[in-house]
Copies of this chain bind each other. A is one copy, B any other.
């Protein structure tokens, strides 16, 4: 199911959108202000963000910037402002679409579908194999020697981020941000504990990891 993060402060509009999205099979998380939005984005990992630029606590531009850099999902901006500079600014700092109020519900939904469709192909390659274990990203399963390995939610989240960036280094901060949220960027000890657990469950020789590799001082890397 597609998760939508709806950032909007007008209750009626939230209500209307929520109903429309729900009936079309979307899961909706609503945030009435920027702070809540950033928090929810970190904790719930939406597939797409619908963002009103006129929020009570922060400038919409700040919200976009707060999301971009670590979240790559599409952002569709809603705004009452028709001015060209506003649109250009929002699009250039990372928004994917800009819809001016008042808007037709049908059009917004179509733009949402288009944005989600374009973002989708990125999640291909749902199965990644190594010499000792197999990760099925879609099914959320890990097999080792034909047997299923049980991972806790946190363990799975970490493994998922690393596998999606297979071969690339993932910095400690970005890993912490993706799994625990922006407030935990400095808790590097969490990583040590959970990487050790993952290695115990997955590596043939946990003392000499071949797939879940530490880059001292920088981060971690998954190698197949």
Contacts and interface: CB of A to CB of B under 8 A. Distances in A.
Interface of A: 72, 74, 84-85, 87-88, 91-92, 95-98, 104, 106-107, 109-111, 113-114, 118-119, 121, 138-141, 152-153, 156, 167-169, 215-218, 221
8 contacts: A88-B106, A88-B110, A92-B113, A97-B97, A118-B119, A139-B167, A139-B169, A153-B218
A174 to B, nearest CB: 12
A26 to B, nearest CB: 16
Given A113-B92, A114-B91, A169 B152 contact: no
A13 to B, nearest CB: 18
Given A104-B84, A106-B88, A118 B216 contact: no
B74 A88 contact: no
A59 B167 CA distance: 40
A169 B167 CA distance: 26
Query: Nearest 5 pairs between A and B by C-beta?
Result: A140-B169, A88-B110, A91-B110, A153-B217, A84-B104
Given A118-B96, A169-B140, A156 B218 contact: yes
A9 B75 CA distance: 32
Contact of A118 (B98, B118, B215): B118
A87 B113 contact: no
Nearest to A84: B104
A217 B152 contact: yes
B141 A169 contact: yes
A111 B89 CA distance: 11
Nearest to A219: B140
A167 B139 CA distance: 7
Given A92-B113, A95-B114, A139-B221, 8 more contacts: A84-B104, A91-B113, A91-B114, A92-B110, A96-B114, A118-B119, A139-B168, A140-B169
A139 B119 CA distance: 22
A106 B87 CA distance: 9
A74 B118 CA distance: 9
A111 B118 CA distance: 15
